[in-house]
Chains A and B, each alone.
Chain A
Amino acid sequence: MNTREPERLTIPPDGRADAEQPHWRQDFPVDWPDDTYVSRRDFVKFLVLTSLAFTSGQFVVLVRNLLRQRATPPAQALARLDALPIGGSLVFSYPSPLDKRVLVRLDERTLVAYGQSCTHLSCPVIARPADGQLHCPCHEGAFDLATGRPIAGPPRRPLPLVTLDVRDGMIYATGVEERTV
């Protein structure tokens, strides 16, 4: 009994039915429609592997998030207020030695501090008080010095904000606020 489909043109050289053909002949067909079928099926398989990779990435983010420290870091003395001139800046680490921050004195009463890593690709930003900006030299990114929000270049997220307190003439860092907008 011939089990071949009527629109099929190519006949296997051994003349046996399709179901009896070796597996390699099914995976490397000669007819274009069969070839299209196999290649699309393999592309679906590739996409499902990509889907697995994305899901794994989601769970990596989840695990990293769970492992991240949640507690508010202790206050840290940075400098005496009178030692920082107006327009002056100070780079410091808070709360860990790897977390570089930059403190800028904008005027007599206003102090701001942000994470020093650009939110684009983590290059260190440079305070430019005269321009009212924090400048990232790697890709010409810029952040507003008053708010830490991006105003030019590739960065899209604002810099992390370091909350400050001034007590008895001493500047303290009291916490870090991550922000998305």
Chain B
Amino acid sequence: MRQARFSRGQRATIVSGILGVVLVIVIVQLWLLTATVNASLGGDTAIVLPAALASLVCLLLNAGLLWYLYALDR
């Protein structure tokens, strides 16, 4: 492994923390998709656009955390 600004133990803690946060966000996205499909099939279409935007925000957050994780090794 390359020498980075964090020690190996610190990086292990960081990756575990980020993994936990990303996992929670993905579970929220799964729930959001399920609820949106159910509402859409039931004719409740008002929720579809806000749910898509919320999911996009979750994706951007996850992508940012992944980018930070790879930046740790640079």
Q: List 26 A-B contacts (CB under 8 A).
A: A4-B3, A7-B9, A18-B2, A19-B3, A21-B2, A26-B1, A33-B9, A34-B8, A37-B8, A44-B15, A47-B19, A47-B62, A48-B62, A48-B63, A51-B22, A51-B25, A51-B63, A54-B33, A54-B55, A55-B59, A61-B48, A62-B48, A157-B38, A157-B42, A160-B43, A178-B42
Which single member of B8, B16, B40 contacts A65 (CB below 8 Å)?
A: B40
**Which residue of chain B lies nearest to A6 when distances are taken between CB atoms in the complex?**
B7
B33, B37, B39: which has the most chain A beta carbons within 10 Å?
A: B33
Q: A127 CA to B63 CA in the complex, in Å?
A: 50
The total of chain B residues at the interface (CB under 8 A) is 45
Interface string of A51-62 (1 = CB under 8 A from B): 110110111011
B1–A18 CB distance below 8 A? yes
Query: How far is A51 from B59 in the complex, measured between Cα atoms in Å?
Result: 6
B58 cross-chain contacts in A, Cβ below 8 A = 51, 55
For B42, list chain A residues within 8 Å (CB).
157, 178-181
State in angstroms the CA–CA spacing of A59 and B16 once bound together. Answer: 30
Interface residues of A: mostly helix, strand, loop or mixed? helix
Residue A80 lies at the interface, judged by CB distance under 8 Å to chain B = no
1/0 contact string of A9-41 vs chain B (CB within 8 Å): 000000001110100001001000110110011
CA distance A18 to B32 in the complex (A): 43
For A40, give its contact among B15, B43, B45, B65 (CB under 8 Å): B15
Once bound together, how far apart are the Cα atoms of A58 and B28, in whole Å? 13
**B20 CB to nearest A CB, Å:** 10
**A47-B69 Cα distance, complex, nearest whole Å:** 13
Within B5-29, the residues touching A (CB, 8 Å) are 7-9, 11-12, 15-16, 18-19, 22-23, 25-26, 29
